Structure 1
Amino acid sequence: MKKIFARIILLAAACFAFADYNSYDIPDSAEIRRTIVDSWLTPDLDTLRGYKEQFKDNRIGVTYQIRLEEDDDEFCVVVAPRSEIDINMINGDSVKTVRAAVYPKGAAGSWILYRNKNKGIPSRIQYFFNQDSDVYLQFRAEGNKTFADLVVCGSYAARSVLVGVPFNRLYTASFQEVKSWTKKSIPWDKVTVVKNQYTNTLIMVGSILDNLDSFRFMDDACYDEHGKLKSIVTGQDIVVRDEQGNPIPVSDLKNMHFLSGAGFVKWIVDGIVEPYRGYGTSIQQLTVPTMEFNSVGKSGVMSQEWNLTFTLDWCRNLASEAYSIRSSRQGDYKTAGLDVNYSYFSTEISDGKNVNATGYIRNTGYPVHHLKSMLYVLAVTEPEWFYLGAIRQGSSIKPDELVFNNCVVFFPYFDRNGKFGCYVFEQGNEITLDKFLEKYKGAYVHLERVKATEAFFPYEKK
């Protein structure tokens, strides 16, 4: 009996510890919340306003701060774990760096209860389980029912999933419990980050960054399969000239690459292709059309005068070349499944309201505002892949007509702490993802997948 009793005690202790630190390797406040239901989670707003923030430790020694926050329509009780940041203290000419404790609202392990300000009734609860605060699980109370949402970078990966537990049960439920309740109804595989899978991605990024200072933008320019500077449109040699129109000697062009946006993307893929077969991709092959238009339709008529799908064809054919080298068999974007065409998200969150999001549109891609959530999920589900993006936007000739006239490369990844990042390269420059999304607001991006590799040897600076 003593042995059985001891095993029960050990099992109970293990369960408590498991509740305080779950399979996502984040701290949990469930045990703390069980002690503050009457003092923090159910009192009226006037009572809560009289409280100062409170600090409590869970069973494994993680300190949580409990505090009130409010805005015009809602108030919330935040239960957030401690983390630390470096702060530079400036005193005259000297700078001293000190570590300061902070309790961020969206930190991994945070739990937030929102209540309506007029009636005081609870409206929703948020569990933060990843290192990115714009990825979280949310529960909403509607009458006697409880619904769950999985939010990823402003889009719903799951929306209004019925959960068979009373809303107030979530006041004390651990994250491991809610994950168990929703394991079949929430797509956890889309947000479960596995670290240390992005070595080849970061090797490629490092090589590109090392070469950025060598790039000079030149419209219509790229290197052919033998490294000769050519016009994409005519296939003719390009002679680099100075401002007066005089040819510049090759010896003066050391450490320079002259490339258009399409030429820059080709330079990256050639860094994968050329080491395997001794030469790069052919301009003629990359311009092969990948779409057919109805000859009497509007796009068909326009396509007889303008190339409406230039960068879509270019990116699809580049991805096909990279695939054929890696797989040792010839394939195109269709047979190799190189188009990214998932529709993981149905609606988007904007200014607190739901906005319809179209997801993937065939031969058009994704709305730019939808791109960050897609890249996040792709980084989770397809580690060690990067993406060529063909940008569809208003034509410079007819702004109301959308054409594929520019391209970009995305390298999504998670760092060693599990935080999402994405390197973005466009026209020989690095641009942040946020700036890219703002720059191309209202446009579409069609994505092609390419496997990252450590055997990446782009044309050296010349």
Structure 2
Amino acid sequence: MKRLHTRSIAALLCLGAAISVYASPPSAAVPSGFVESAGIRTKMAESCLSADPSSVLGLKDELCMESGVHPFSFSVSQSADRSTLEVSFSPLYASGRQGTWILERDLRSGEPLGIVVYPVPDPEVKVIIAPGAAGRTENDSISRLTLEIHGLPLVRDIPVGIPFSSVFTRPFEHIVSLTASAVPWHLLRPVGADYRDMASAVETLRERLPSLVYLDDGAFDHDGNPVFIASGEPQTPADILKALPEGSLPGALEGGVNCSGFAKWVVDGAIKPITGSNTRIDALKGETSSPKTHFTEPFRDSRDLYFGLNWTRHLASAAVSARLRRTKLPSNSGVDVTVEPFSASSGYQEAVGYKVSELMPYLYYLAASEGGHFYLGAISRERGEPLLRQYHHIALFFPWFDDAGAFHVAVFESALETPPEKFVSANSDAWVHLVRVRVPQTGYFWP
């Protein structure tokens, strides 16, 4: 970067104290851990927001101090195609990108294109503030705010109530306050302590995975014995050892499971401390509500079209029944996830669920809005001859927030843990129907 052109800007960018003109204390509505930079941005407004783009590009990277306490990295960059420039203010000691402000301007015209604010540690959660339509007066150009979660807008184009130039100098808490009635800011303020049971369950699963091996049609029965789902016949030691990957040692191997058997093994771990036994395999095979058409009915049984959907619903309902100590059928247990908070998404399709390509924003929303649940997913695709939707796979999703507010998702399928991004990529053409299961308290999860 080029050296600064004026002493006044150089003095600003050094480690002097940039005292915010807004002296109010942080609002409780601002996500925990968010570090404010309003003082720095206010002093830099003219040189960053109004100055000629070439002058802005002449500013060098520097370290600035907010209120003499919080160090921020100031930097300017341009896009690879040299069409835009970005001015960034990033706190040095934040979790993830939390607290970063980025101003984007058109490199030719100099017009502001928008501001991106990262309110939480997760870099996939963004507040995007764009200039409103230009009008006859400055007040006609009211800024508009979009809250984007993992690529999907949760709310879009919410009027902020002030011009764009004012947004650049305001503390984030003022932006939150101005939009509080239209933006669900509470979803960005998870309490880490509320998710410790979830984190504990994930660690338990990771510790127990070596006791399992993938075995087609494998599961554990209600007494905990390894069997085959279709026949109920016991798995022999030879069956289990034969399924062991080459080069692996038997260790404390207990049995083999496929994706369905693994889901049962996990849910049984939540049920067994309450009931003293596991679920019964036959009870998980019964029909649940699903589309009945003249196309599907001839193949419902022969191709087992809805096996994964029925199996996950029965497992989740069994967990509800155990917790309430009374029988709840899938039809009245409330286990199906049907929320539709993202208007720009494909939304929920009856008995089909959500696009896997849009799964991550939904898991974030679910973790924030109904924390304390993990989810069984029945994966479906149109396949076979004739081409019909078939629920052919089951995966489990554990979303939670840590004490710093960072978002995590653990994905398990067929006795293995799969990185979330790998799962989404491998199933981007599929749909997933979700059912919820309350995570047990720490110490009461025995898979």
TM-score by length of 2: 0.86
Q: CA deviation at 1:231?
A: 2.2
Which structure 1 residue ranges, 4+ long, deviate > 6 Å from structure 2? none
Q: CA deviation at 1:82?
A: 1.2
Unaligned runs of 5+ in 1: 1-11, 85-103, 246-251, 348-356
The answer to whether residue 304 in structure 2 is matched with residue 314 in structure 1 is: no
Aligned partner of 2:69 among 41, 56, 61: 61
What residue number does 1:96 align with?
none
Change in 2 beyond 3 A, CA 1:130/1:177: same
What residue number does 2:444 align with?
456
**Quick check: 2:49–2:112 contact (8 Å CA) kept in 1?**
no
Matches within 5 A, 1:42-121: 42-59=50-67, 61-71=69-79, 72=81, 73-83=83-93, 107-121=97-111
Change in 2 beyond 3 A, CA 1:455/1:311: farther
Alignment-mate amino acid for residue 33 of structure 1: R
The answer to whether residue 272 in structure 2 is matched with residue 274 in structure 1 is: yes
Change in 2 beyond 3 A, CA 1:139/1:406: same
Alpha-carbon distance in 1 for matches of 2:97, 2:208:
36
What residue number does 1:18 align with?
25
Q: CA deviation at 1:401?
A: 3.2
**Quick check: 2:22–2:171 contact (8 Å CA) kept in 1?**
no
Q: CA deviation at 1:284?
A: 1.0
What residue number does 2:408 align with?
421
**Quick check: 2:21–2:39 contact (8 Å CA) kept in 1?**
no
Change in 2 beyond 3 A, CA 1:243/1:220: closer
Deviations 1:27-64 (A, max 9, x none): 11111111111122211211122221233211151011
What residue number does 1:433 align with?
420
**Quick check: 1:56–1:65 contact (8 Å CA) kept in 2?**
yes
What residue number does 1:344 align with?
341
Alignment-mate amino acid for residue 75 of structure 1: L
**Quick check: 2:71–2:91 contact (8 Å CA) kept in 1?**
yes
Q: CA deviation at 1:295?
A: 4.8
Change in 2 beyond 3 A, CA 1:163/1:410: same
Partner SS state of residue 107, structure 1: coil
Unaligned runs of 5+ in 2: 1-18, 134-140, 243-249
Once the two structures are overlaid, the 10-residue window that deviates more, 178-187 or 220-229, is 220-229
Partner SS state of residue 335, structure 2: coil
Matches within 5 A, 1:312-391: 312-347=309-344, 357-391=345-379
Q: CA deviation at 1:77?
A: 1.0
What residue number does 2:231 align with?
234
Alpha-carbon distance in 2 for matches of 1:243, 1:217:
9
Change in 2 beyond 3 A, CA 1:64/1:21: farther
Q: CA deviation at 1:340?
A: 1.0
Aligned partner of 2:172 among 172, 175, 178: 175
Q: State the percentage of identical aligned residues.
A: 28
Alignment-mate amino acid for residue 380 of structure 1: A
Deviations 1:330-366 (A, max 9, x none): 212332211111011122xxxxxxxxx2121110011
Deviations 1:381-427 (A, max 9, x none): 222211111111243x4495331111111111111211111111110
Change in 2 beyond 3 A, CA 1:181/1:242: closer
Alpha-carbon distance in 1 for matches of 2:153, 2:331:
28
**Quick check: 1:41–1:77 contact (8 Å CA) kept in 2?**
no
**Quick check: 2:308–2:393 contact (8 Å CA) kept in 1?**
yes
Change in 2 beyond 3 A, CA 1:243/1:31: closer
**Quick check: 2:160–2:175 contact (8 Å CA) kept in 1?**
no
The answer to whether residue 157 in structure 2 is matched with residue 160 in structure 1 is: yes
TM-score by length of 1: 0.83
Q: CA deviation at 1:292?
A: 4.1
**Quick check: 1:20–1:60 contact (8 Å CA) kept in 2?**
no
Q: CA deviation at 1:186?
A: 1.0
Q: CA RMSD in A?
A: 2.5
Alpha-carbon distance in 1 for matches of 2:240, 2:226:
19
Change in 2 beyond 3 A, CA 1:18/1:400: farther
Q: CA deviation at 1:192?
A: 2.3
Count of aligned pairs between the two proteins = 411
What residue number does 1:350 align with?
none
Q: CA deviation at 1:294?
A: 2.9
Q: CA deviation at 1:17?
A: 5.7
Q: CA deviation at 1:458?
A: 3.2
Deviations 1:196-245 (A, max 9, x none): 21121122222211111121111111111112222222333333436999
Change in 2 beyond 3 A, CA 1:243/1:263: closer
Alpha-carbon distance in 2 for matches of 1:292, 1:155:
28
What residue number does 1:248 align with?
none
Q: CA deviation at 1:320?
A: 0.4
Change in 2 beyond 3 A, CA 1:451/1:304: closer
Alpha-carbon distance in 2 for matches of 1:419, 1:243:
39
What residue number does 2:15 align with?
none
Alpha-carbon distance in 2 for matches of 1:244, 1:449:
34
Partner SS state of residue 203, structure 1: helix
What residue number does 2:381 align with?
393
Alpha-carbon distance in 2 for matches of 1:224, 1:54:
64
Alpha-carbon distance in 2 for matches of 1:200, 1:171:
40
**Quick check: 2:85–2:104 contact (8 Å CA) kept in 1?**
yes
Deviations 1:237-261 (A, max 9, x none): 333436999xxxxxx8953321111
**Quick check: 1:53–1:65 contact (8 Å CA) kept in 2?**
yes
